[in-house]
Structure 1
């Protein structure tokens, strides 16, 4: 079901939208519908796989609070 929607826009913007839509062979309404459809699409999580070593670390610190001081001590111990 299509319902009419009135938008109040600057005259120059409307003119640009009409030119843009004509070049693409679509109506301004179709462009607006496409735009809102894109806004409403749920973001899909990335499907790239992580290297095994990195994947094994995922979630290892979940729920733990690490203090900056502890991290600095670790770095000093490791590199000094």
Structure 2
């Protein structure tokens, strides 16, 4: 049984998806349905665990990047930066 679903997506993404669907001679609805089925086939209840998502190395590098010292005086450093900039 088909049911209507309304999604709000970026216009550029929609245009690219429409071109992809046309190239593959499928409707956009069927492509999205197939994608959602592939997401939920291993987990029909829809319960997602942290293990279900793989974090990319780039995102991991952001989380483990350089540590900012706790004793930093942001206002003073910014003031020094502005003084240096507008000398």
TM-score by length of 2: 0.47
Q: How does 1:14-33 map to 2 (within 5 A)?
A: 14-33=14-33
Alignment of 1:1-80 (within 5 A): 1-42=1-42
Cα distance in structure 1, aligned partners of 2:28 and 2:41: 20
**Unaligned 5+ residue runs, structure 1?**
44-80
> Which residue number corresponds to residue 70 of structure 2?
none
Q: Give deviations 1:47-70, integer Å, cap 9, x for gaps.
A: xxxxxxxxxxxxxxxxxxxxxxxx
Tell me by how many angstroms 1:42 deviates. 1.7
Distance (whole Å) between structure 1 residues aligned to residue 9 and residue 36 of structure 2: 16
Aligned residues: 43
Secondary structure, aligned partner of 1:36: helix
* Aligned-partner Cα distance in 2 for 1:3–1:41: 19
1:16 to partner: Cα distance: 0.3
* CA distance in structure 2 between the aligned counterparts of 1:6 and 1:42, rounded to whole angstroms: 25
For residues 23-48 of structure 1, the C-alpha deviation after alignment (integer angstroms, 9 at most, x for no partner) is 001011000000011011127xxxxx
Which structure ranks higher in relative contact order (CA pairs < 8 Å, sequence separation ≥ 6)? 1
Q: Superposition RMSD on alpha carbons, in Å?
A: 1.2
